[in-house]
Amino acid sequence: MTKSKVAFLFASQTLGKQRLYLWTFTFKELLSVKETRKRWNHLLTLLIRAWPNLQGLRVFELHEEHGLHVHVVTNQFIDVNRARELATQAGWGRIHVTRMPSEHSGYLAKYLSKERPECLKRWRLWAGFGNGWEWTKVKDVVRETLFSRIYRACKEWQGWSGRKGFFERMDLVRRMMILTIENGWTVGRGPGGLPYSAGWYPGEETD
Told to check if 177 binds other proteins by CB under 8 A, we report yes
Told to check if 173 binds other proteins by CB under 8 A, we report no
Q: Which helix (H) or strand (E) holds 3?
A: helix 3-15
Stretch that binds other proteins, among 72-80, 119-127, 175-183, 192-200 (CB under 8 A): 175-183
- Report the 10 Å Cβ neighbour count for 125: 18
Cβ nearer to other proteins, comparing 98 with 145: 145
Told to check if 200 binds other proteins by CB under 8 A, we report no
3-state secondary structure (DSSP) of residue 25: strand
Told to check if 142 binds other proteins by CB under 8 A, we report yes
CA–CA separation, 37 and 92 (whole Å): 11
Told to check if 176 binds other proteins by CB under 8 A, we report no
CA–CA separation, 29 and 97 (whole Å): 20
Told to check if 13 binds other proteins by CB under 8 A, we report yes
Beta bridge partners of 199: none
**The one among 45, 85, 94, 181 contacting other proteins by CB under 8 A:** 181
End-to-end alpha-carbon separation of the chain, Å? 33
Told to check if 24 binds other proteins by CB under 8 A, we report no
**The one among 119, 146, 194, 198 contacting other proteins by CB under 8 A:** 146
Contact yes or no for 196/189 (Cβ under 8 A): yes
Residues 113-132 that bind other proteins (CB under 8 A): none
Nearest approach in angstroms of CB 6 to other proteins is 5
Residues 81-100 that bind other proteins (CB under 8 A): none
CA–CA separation, 101 and 103 (whole Å): 5
Told to check if 102 binds other proteins by CB under 8 A, we report no
Phi (first) and psi of residue 196, to 5 degrees: -55, -30
Told to check if 178 binds other proteins by CB under 8 A, we report yes
- Report the 10 Å Cβ neighbour count for 36: 22
Q: Which residues contact other proteins (rule: CB under 8 A)?
A: 1, 3, 6-7, 9-10, 13-14, 134, 136-137, 140-146, 167, 170-171, 174, 177-178, 180-184
